[in-house]
Amino acid sequence: MDPEFKPHQLQSRNVEIFDYEGVVIAGFWQYGTLQWHEFYRYLSTLVVATTTTWSIFEFDPANQQRGAPCPPGAQIVQPGYYILASSTGESVRVGLVPRLPRPRNPMHSDALAEPPYRNRALSRDGRCLFTGLQTETYSRLKVAHIFSRAHDAEWIRKGYPSKITDTAGEALMGGQTKIDSVQNVITMRRDLGNAWDNYEFGVDPRNNYRVTAFTNGNADINGLHLQLDHIEIQRFALSIELLIDHFIAGLLTHMKGAGQHRRPYEDYEDTFGEGSFNPSDF
């Protein structure tokens, strides 16, 4: 890197949660939209506490002082520091769940000659499902997988082929795995592709398909709702379970602990084994 230039990097977090040992157990960049009841739900997928009735309190890390409680509710989480404790404010032992996100290893499908899933997704959507952007030639649009096709072995192990209801021929869906079904692809603005692959934002189907950005610099899409009104036939609809899978990977990558948890894919299976990444826990 040229020493003459200093790269400008945005602050990664403005909310952090500590345990009583001073360890950061979670955090994120708050855009002013995430509510406490949502954050509690997200935290429940990331932490394991010695008591089932834990709560979040305001916290002053410099003086190690616990402040007012922050109960789950519709209030917006304010930027700052917090601590996880028992419901009465006492110290509890807290651990992070052992799950790690699945590396995306994005596939550069643009090098392929019009893969069938791209044509089918563009015909179904015709625009960015996040922002509504339309272009005459689709030049500013990208079709991305929700569950990366690079991990077809895990896709099969999780039983996703049997959950695809798309009735197109196997040649149009990537063979027997059906990983290229339109239920596993989403049309977006081209510049959003890398952020999607890095789990920097996700879609929560249980919150009216709202977009939640986990990293700073995505204010233009945070809080939007996925535009799905044009999809009237269920077998062409995006899979709710796959969107949840992708969303949880975002929590594990950017919200859990200090953030940006990564591990080579070959270690992932050995560490957690079959069924370790279960969207039904969300």
- Tell me the two tokens of residue 80: 């700052």
pLDDT at 161 over 70: yes
pLDDT of residue 215: 94
Question: pLDDT band at residue 267, thresholds of 50, 70 and 90?
Answer: very low
pLDDT at 214 over 90: yes
pLDDT of residue 182: 97
- Tell me the two tokens of residue 170: 């196997």
Question: pLDDT band at residue 268, thresholds of 50, 70 and 90?
Answer: very low
pLDDT at 9 over 60: yes
Average pLDDT estimate for 49-68:
91
Contact 77, 29 (CB under 8 A): no
Which of 79, 77, 82, 34 minimizes the C-alpha distance to 57? Answer: 82
pLDDT of residue 269: 32
Distance, CA of 103 to CA of 247 (rounded, Å): 13
Question: pLDDT band at residue 49, thresholds of 50, 70 and 90?
Answer: confident
pLDDT of residue 6: 67
pLDDT of residue 211: 98
Question: pLDDT band at residue 282, thresholds of 50, 70 and 90?
Answer: low
- The neighbouring-strand residues paired with 17 are 26, 82
Secondary structure element (H or E) that encloses residue 116, with its range: helix 116-125
